[in-house]
């Protein structure tokens, strides 16, 4: 599932709401807090650091082979990197936390421009009906 968001502060909670809805539809409950936090960080980075190249960013969520994958695409090729903040720094910890919480993350260039920052989470595969659906 995919959704486009404007590069605005309000987009971070909107992106979290989008992910929450998808997780509910797919009946995924484990790792949801970690996934929501990591999406918040990646969306915030897309808003703050994507430069003047674009007015939006895209979020795509997929599930395959027991792995939940969250991708955030923006329109700049500038790659994010893990920083080494001091205790006095008020920012720069986002990707450190993504690295600690996720089972994997990375950056891929997009053609003709832009990049995708992704994060993955191993989840328990659930058999049964999605949340909110009852059998007859």
Please write the tens of the pLDDT for every residue from 21-37: 999 999 998 899 999 99
CB of 85 within 8 A of CB of 93?
A: yes
Predicted model pTM: 0.85
Mean pLDDT of the chain: 87
Residues 6+ apart with CB under 8 A from 71: 58, 59, 60, 61, 62, 116, 117, 118
Number of independent structural domains in the chain: 1
Residue 49 lies in a domain: yes
Residues 6+ apart with CB under 8 A from 26: 63, 130
Percent of the chain clearing pLDDT 90 (strictly above): 62
Output the pLDDT for position 93.
74
CA distances from 55 to 51, 91, 117 (A): 9, 23, 17
pLDDT exceeds 80 at position 51: no
Residue 130 lies in a domain: no
In 1-136, where does DSSP find H-type helix?
Answer: 11-25, 32-49, 94-101
Output the pLDDT for position 87.
81
Residue 7 lies in a domain: yes
pLDDT tier, 60 (very low <50, low <70, confident <90, very high otherwise)? very high
Higher pLDDT, 75 or 14: 14
Which tens digits make up the pLDDT trace of 85-127? 778 866 767 888 999 999 999 999 988 889 999 999 999 866 5
Residue 129 lies in a domain: no
- 80: DSSP letter: P
Residue 133 lies in a domain: no
Output the pLDDT for position 83.
73
Residue 127 lies in a domain: no
16: domain range?
2-122
Residue 110 lies in a domain: yes
| CATH number, residue 30 | 3.30.565.10
pLDDT exceeds 70 at position 128: no
């Amino acid at each position: 599932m995919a959704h486009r968001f404007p590069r605005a502060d309000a987009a971070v909670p909107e992106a979290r709401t989008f992910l929450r809805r998808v997780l509910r539809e797919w009946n995924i409950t484990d790792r949801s807090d970690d996934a929501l936090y990591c999406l918040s960080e990646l969306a915030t980075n897309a808003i703050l650091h994507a430069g003047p190249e674009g007015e939006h960013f895209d979020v795509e969520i997929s599930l395959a082979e027991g792995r939940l994958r969250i991708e955030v695409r923006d329109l700049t090729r500038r790659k994010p990197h893990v920083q080494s903040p001091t205790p006095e720094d008020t920012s720069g910890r986002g990707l450190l936390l993504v690295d600690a919480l996720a089972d994997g993350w990375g950056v891929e260039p997009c053609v003709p421009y832009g990049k995708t920052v992704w994060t993955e989470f191993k989840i328990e595969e659930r058999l049964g009906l999605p949340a909110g659906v009852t059998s007859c």
